[in-house]
């Protein structure tokens, strides 16, 4: 049973209420935005809740046990704080969500109805629908270490131990062109070979998109400079001259760990663990299976 503030309980007891819904989204980059289905903006707890976004929510259901209780938020992409470009760029992926029931005549009379995280987001023209996943959803995620052929550490983390600040691994450049929504031409990377930053990380360091981070899908050198194809679309406002920082890529293979990073002592995979290819292999003279000669 949910405890209500005394003033809100008294308001509900009158039989005539002035209630609305408010949603607060906290992105992983720290940005917090609010929306309400009331016809004017509201503000409380340091957040302004915008009324122009046309937000609505499905029925809220809660059940006992560890089942995942989900609901959906629907709205129109009419807010400066919630745009098509931001959704496409993944800025709201896994955002924390708070859903409040509020007396719009006195916003101090409010109660939090549900918390969770944004899941799947579907877009259709000027509107969107976002799944709000309950806290029990986190219990369904795999935890612990996965035994696999490739390394399960992130390049530069504590388990990997590689120093990313080294000039060979981190480079600063500037955007010289935007050939596509998910591609950049970058000046200042001529010293790095073709594919050096493939599977790496790019971060915008200046301009309207400063702080945006995305994985690099393909890095290739051309006659006009480096081209970086990205896994996600760029945010709106990125222009030529904006600064970028790019970190070298790692394909998690032992040969790359040794040759590219001289870090095989910290390799966190299991390259000699027999896999399906070993089980189904047929012995042939001179053939190799995971580095062991067949006889």
Residue 101 has pLDDT above 80, yes or no: yes
10 and 129 part of one domain: yes
175 and 65 part of one domain: no
Domain harbouring 62, CATH code: 2.30.110
Domain harbouring 192, CATH code: 2.40.30.20
182 and 111 part of one domain: no
CB-based contact 107:40 (threshold 8 Å): no
Residue 224 has pLDDT above 90, yes or no: no
Residue 105 has pLDDT above 90, yes or no: yes
Task: Name residues whose C-beta falls within 8 Å of residue 16's C-beta, 6 or more positions apart in sequence.
Answer: none
177 and 130 part of one domain: no
In a domain, 275, yes or no: no
207 and 85 part of one domain: no
pLDDT tens-digit readout, 133-144 = 766 666 666 677
Supply the mean pLDDT for the chain: 81
10 and 136 part of one domain: yes
Q: Which helix (H) or strand (E) holds 116?
A: strand 110-124
71 and 113 part of one domain: yes
Q: Report the domain count for the chain.
A: 2
Listed residues 140, 159, 183: the one ending a domain? 140
15 and 77 part of one domain: yes
Structure tokens at 87: 């959704």
Q: According to DSSP H, which parts of the chain are helical?
A: 6-13, 84-88, 254-259, 276-279
Whose tokens are 């129109």? That residue is 76
124 and 241 part of one domain: no
Residue 125 has pLDDT above 70, yes or no: no
- Flag the least confident range among 23-27, 86-90, 197-201: 86-90
State if pTM tops 0.85.
no
pLDDT band at 208 (very low <50, low <70, confident <90, very high): confident
Tell me which of 132 and 193 has the higher pLDDT: 193
Q: Give percent above pLDDT 70 in the chain.
A: 77
Residue 88 has pLDDT above 70, yes or no: no
What pLDDT shows up at residue 160?
A: 93
CB-based contact 53:35 (threshold 8 Å): yes
In a domain, 257, yes or no: no
Sign of CA dihedral 10, 12, 15, 18: positive
What pLDDT shows up at residue 104?
A: 94
Domain hosting residue 189, numbered range? 170-247
183 and 110 part of one domain: no
User: CA 36, CA 61: separation in Å to the nearest integer?
Assistant: 20
pLDDT tens-digit readout, 60-72 = 555 544 444 556 6
49 and 125 part of one domain: yes
pLDDT tens-digit readout, 36-53 = 888 899 999 899 998 865
- Flag the least confident range among 67-76, 184-193, 198-207, 272-281: 67-76
Q: According to DSSP H, which parts of 53-122 are helical?
A: 84-88
In a domain, 164, yes or no: no
191 and 131 part of one domain: no
In a domain, 214, yes or no: yes
Listed residues 232, 247, 262: the one ending a domain? 247
């Amino acid at each position: 049973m949910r405890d209500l503030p005394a003033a809100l309980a008294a308001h509900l007891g009158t039989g005539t209420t002035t209630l609305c819904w408010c949603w607060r989204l906290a992105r992983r980059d720290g940005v917090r935005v609010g929306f309400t289905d009331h016809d004017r903006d509201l503000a409380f707890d340091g957040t302004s809740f915008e009324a122009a976004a046309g937000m609505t929510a499905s029925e809220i259901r809660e059940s006992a046990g560890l089942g995942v209780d989900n609901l959906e938020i629907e709205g129109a992409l009419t807010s400066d704080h919630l745009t098509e470009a931001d959704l496409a760029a993944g800025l709201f992926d896994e955002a924390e969500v708070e859903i409040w029931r509020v007396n719009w005549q006195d916003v101090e009379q409010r109660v939090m109805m549900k918390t969770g995280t944004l899941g799947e987001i579907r877009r259709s023209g000027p509107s969107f629908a976002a799944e709000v996943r309950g806290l029990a959803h986190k219990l369904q995620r795999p935890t612990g270490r996965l035994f696999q052929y490739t390394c399960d550490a992130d390049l530069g983390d504590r388990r990997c131990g590689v120093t990313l600040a080294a000039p060979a691994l981190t480079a600063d450049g500037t955007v010289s062109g935007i050939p596509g929504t998910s591609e950049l031409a970058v000046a200042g990377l001529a010293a790095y070979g073709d594919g050096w930053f493939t599977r790496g990380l790019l971060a915008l360091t200046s301009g309207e998109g400063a702080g945006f981070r995305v994985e690099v899908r393909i890095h290739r050198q051309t006659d006009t400079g480096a081209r970086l194809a990205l896994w996600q679309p760029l945010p709106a406002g990125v222009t030529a001259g904006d600064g970028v920082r790019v970190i070298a890529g790692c394909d998690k293979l032992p040969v790359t760990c040794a040759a590219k990073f001289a870090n095989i002592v910290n390799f966190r995979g299991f390259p000699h663990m027999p896999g399906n290819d070993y089980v189904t292999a047929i012995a042939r003279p001179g053939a190799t299976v995971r580095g062991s000669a067949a006889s």
